[in-house]
């Protein structure tokens, strides 16, 4: 036991579980309200980051499908021209 003030949080970008956090006993004793506020802020941050990541992935998927469709059309046109 170090008696330090320690707070740690992490979220894996592909996780389906809530983020992980740890607060040392001392920081909970001496700063519970602030730590609870920080945990809530991290929750909002991670939620927004994950939502943005999903949105970006969906946009990339749409662009990929469009590109594949165009490629297939071009390939058919080339085959018909030959």
Three-state secondary structure call for residue 9:
strand
pLDDT of residue 46: 92
> What's the pLDDT at 7?
96
DSSP tag of 17? S
How many Cα atoms within 13 Å fall on the side-chain side of residue 36?
A: 6
CA–CA gap between residue 15 and residue 13 (Å, rounded): 6
| Residue recorded with tokens 């046109």 | 77
**Comparing 9-13, 49-53, 66-70, which segment has the lowest mean pLDDT?**
49-53
What pLDDT is attached to residue 37? Answer: 95
Count the alpha carbons within 13 Å of 65 in the hemisphere toward its beta carbon: 6
Confidence (pTM): 0.66
């Amino acid at each position: 036991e170090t008696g330090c003030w320690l707070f740690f949080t992490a979220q894996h970008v592909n996780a389906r579980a809530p983020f992980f956090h740890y607060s040392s006993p001392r920081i909970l004793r001496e700063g519970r309200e602030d730590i609870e506020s920080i945990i809530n802020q991290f929750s909002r941050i991670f939620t927004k980051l994950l939502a943005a990541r999903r949105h970006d992935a969906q946009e990339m998927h749409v662009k990929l499908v469009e590109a594949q469709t165009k490629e297939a059309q071009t390939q058919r046109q080339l085959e018909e021209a030959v």
